[in-house]
Structure 1
């Protein structure tokens, strides 16, 4: 779909410039617009990885939410409702011992469960850092290319001042294409960051329950501290963050340019 869109825009521009739809210029299109294609592929590949990471955080949060609605001592509660009766001479001692053991087992399993979630969260944080380090420079190039493409197309459309509708349409289509890539990238990053930010809030809701054991509470406190310290974010080589604020800044700068330049 991306290749078809780029080729359609290329050929539309060639038709406007040369009034020729001939395939004899396919080599020129390939070499002149290779950077556009590579930048677009890099952006979409980055977006795919970020959305996969967001799905993993979403799964982890769903596990936490399920735990928040599960009774802490459900195992011992089931045992207390059983109809089986132990021998009379040892009934009191064996019942108390069994309930205590089941309670301790339940607490231990819940502690291990939350610890496993902490390990998963730590691994997801490492994946986010790896994505940032791998795509830092490509994101810097891609975002600058998108900004230059949008501003150049807007400047081109403003300079024409409606004298040729086909040229104006070409500039508008390129602006929409570049802005769409930037929007997809910014929205995907924001979705992943927001999903990660939900985890500490869910842990706080679990900690507010009255049936939480002290040992489990300690594990939850460690989990909350870890989640607060391991928040994720995506940036272009650390120079600026890739999020909705960047998208709004690009749109605002473009609109300001379109309004101010014609008045000069």
Structure 2
């Protein structure tokens, strides 16, 4: 659902663009303050969700490898619970990442709209020239001052973190599976 269009109390289009520039500047300041205040809690939240997701998936892998066959039916409930918890932790990671990414993408959408407004050729009037100048200044501001959220400055929080999280979890689980396979069959490993 998109927000409603706000009618700004301005006398001209140039004043409206100038007011939008001021609003954007204020929003960027607010986003920077939110990033400064909540950077460490977001880092803690993301790292905790990643750690818990890997731990639960490790439990699931252990259950799957250890209890195969007839005992596996008894452990099916625990395996399902592990899957639910893994999805819960992944959902928490996704919620934080998605909300931070949405703010940045909306800023890019605003820049696209201003670019479309600049495609219209200006008429040679002083009003159009001033409007054209204000739009160019707004576009420059949009391109140079984008809101973004970081995890305490370590990395930018956006949707590119999702594949990184999945890759980290899969890599860890592969290492654990290989280590448990070496423990189960030590005589085969020594023959190599």
Alignment partner of 1:157 is 2:60: yes
Alignment partner of 1:223 is 2:134: no
SS in 1 for 2:153: coil
Note if contact 2:151-2:157 (Cα within 8 Å) is conserved in structure 1.
Answer: yes
Deviation at 1:259, TM superposition (A): 3.8
Give me the whole-angstrom Cα distance separating, in 2, the residues matched to 1:135 and 1:247: 20
Give me the whole-angstrom Cα distance separating, in 2, the residues matched to 1:223 and 1:128: 18
**Deviations along 1:146-187, whole A, 9 cap, x unmatched?**
011011111111122244222222222211110011111112
Structure-1-length-normalised TM-score:
0.57
Alignment RMSD (CA, Å):
2.3
Q: Which runs of 5+ in 1 are unaligned?
A: 1-54, 67-105
Q: Which residue of 1 aligns with 2:51?
A: 148
SS in 2 for 1:244: coil
Structure with the higher fraction of residues in helix conformation: 1
SS in 1 for 2:160: helix
Q: Which residue of 1 aligns with 2:188?
A: none
Give me the whole-angstrom Cα distance separating, in 2, the residues matched to 1:113 and 1:200: 16
Range with greater deviation from structure 2 (201-210 or 116-125)? 201-210
Deviation at 1:59, TM superposition (A): 4.7
Q: Which residue of 1 aligns with 2:98?
A: 187
**Deviations along 1:228-260, whole A, 9 cap, x unmatched?**
111111111010121111111111222233344
Runs (4+) of structure 1 moved beyond 4 Å? none
Q: Which residue of 2 aligns with 1:253?
A: 168
Note if contact 2:150-2:157 (Cα within 8 Å) is conserved in structure 1.
Answer: yes
Alignment partner of 1:173 is 2:107: no
- Mapping 1:1-264, distance limit 5 Å: 59=3, 109-161=12-64, 162=67, 163=72, 164-212=75-123, 213-264=128-179
Greater relative CO, 1 or 2 (CA 8 Å, sep 6+) = 2
Tell which structure's C-alpha radius of gyration is larger.
1
**Deviations along 1:43-62, whole A, 9 cap, x unmatched?**
xxxxxxxxxxxx9xx659x6
Q: Which runs of 5+ in 2 are unaligned?
A: 180-192
Q: Which residue of 1 aligns with 2:189?
A: none
Give me the whole-angstrom Cα distance separating, in 2, the residues matched to 1:150 and 1:198: 33
Structure-2-length-normalised TM-score:
0.77
Note if contact 2:122-2:129 (Cα within 8 Å) is conserved in structure 1.
Answer: no
Give me the whole-angstrom Cα distance separating, in 2, the residues matched to 1:260 and 1:254: 10
**Deviations along 1:28-86, whole A, 9 cap, x unmatched?**
xxxxxxxxxxxxxxxxxxxxxxxxxxx9xx659x66xx9xxxxxxxxxxxxxxxxxxxx
